[in-house]
Amino acid sequence: MNLIRVIPAEGEMRKAHFLGMGTSRKFRGVFLSAAAILIVAVSSLAASCQQAETKNLTIWTYDSFVSEWGPGTGLAKLYEQKTGIKIDFVSKGDGGALLSSILAGGKNIDADLIIGLDNNLASQALDSGLFSAAKLSNLGKIDSKLLVDNKNRLIPYDYGNFAFIWDSQSKITPPASLEDLTKPEYSKKIILMDPRTSTPGLGFLAWTQAVYKDGWKDYWKRLAPSILVMTPGWDTGYGLFTKGEAPLVLSYSTSPAYHKAYEKTERYKALVFAEGHSAQIELAGILSSSKHRKDAEKFLDFLVSEEAQALLPETQWMYPANASTPLPDSFSVVPKNIVTLNASVADPVNDPEAAAAILAEGAR
């Protein structure tokens, strides 16, 4: 029963022929709307490409910088009031994604400044040759230990020590050293971050390498039974911690300040290990390809000035790089006697993989 062939359709087809479409009116409409969407897309693409000619400064950064609770909006407002220059922050995801975007973009990056690399990712960023030296007046105010790059291509704007946070309401005694963490009483009581996928994890790896040097692999073997979980990022790990999954978590020494400020509690305490802690130093830099060098330099200078730095502690929950910046009240709970080690991961390509494998072995 094939009525479609019985009733001659050719006549109808010829009517629609002139549109070059074979079948029905319905498709025509849909096809046209799909085409319309594409055209609009392309033109908006073109339009946004025009932006490069305006007087804005484009800054690529990571996501929490531009979020409601980050310093981005405050800094932009302040800077615009002072200089009239508008800042356009573009979020690229997390720190790793930021690095990845920079390296992928190469010389074609449509940005002036990068804010949000850290000491562990610095070497890759510098190797790319995309950053150029900055001349800043406020450079002297920065603690010299933080100056990762002697050529001043990447400038520190804040830093924090990695530290283990202890839930004082839990029943365990707080450990006092990295070695303590391997004791049986802490079996499955520690939340770590994955060194393969997060900067705190990487920072902890650097920490163990700084303390144990060549024996770091054995340390990780001993540590394995204590680890409850290795989360892909800080947020998941800290979330688990506050939900009571474990009494110890790898985080920043400044974390207690948040709880003091917003939850009015001193329940969570940062532990000081006498042997010293590794640190995360956050860096900003000007791209060589920037078309607004002068303005970019001015902004970077502004970023490390006291006025801007004052915004950082309660948004970034890190120490301001500018040592003369006054700290807010909440930071009173942050231990001040932490020794910062000069730590970096020896083989950033293979060591994280090895560390994770050791933990997996130990868990079996």
**Between residue 229 and residue 258, which ones bind other proteins under the rule CB under 8 A?**
229-236, 238-240, 242-246, 255, 258
Q: Which residues inside 188-217 make contact with other proteins, applying CB under 8 A? A: 188, 194, 196-197, 202
Amino acid at 184: P
Q: Which residues inside 273-312 make contact with other proteins, applying CB under 8 A? A: none
Q: Does 80 bind other proteins (CB under 8 A)?
A: no
Give the Cα-Cα-Cα angle 322, 159, 92 (nearest 5 degrees). 110
Q: Which residues inside 38-57 make contact with other proteins, applying CB under 8 A? A: 38, 40-41, 44-45, 47-49, 51
Least spacing, CB of residue 300 vs other proteins, in Å: 21
Q: Which ranges of the chain does DSSP label H, i.e. alpha helix?
A: 3-6, 10-17, 25-49, 63-66, 72-83, 95-105, 119-127, 199-212, 216-223, 234-242, 255-258, 293-303, 306-309, 313-316, 351-363
Closest alpha carbon to 255 in 165, 319, 157, 159: 165
Whole-number Å distance between alpha carbons of 148 and 104: 23
Residue choice 105, 221, 222, 288 for contact with other proteins (CB under 8 A): 105
Task: Dig out the tokens for 11 from the structure.
Answer: 């006549």
In the bound state with other proteins, the residue whose beta carbon lies nearer, of 129 and 326, is 129
In the bound state with other proteins, the residue whose beta carbon lies nearer, of 40 and 346, is 40
Q: Which residues inside 318-347 make contact with other proteins, applying CB under 8 A? A: none
For other proteins, how many residues bind (rule: CB under 8 A)? 106
Q: Does 227 bind other proteins (CB under 8 A)?
A: yes
Whole-number Å distance between alpha carbons of 151 and 156: 13
Residue choice 76, 79, 128, 294 for contact with other proteins (CB under 8 A): 128
In the bound state with other proteins, the residue whose beta carbon lies nearer, of 107 and 213, is 107
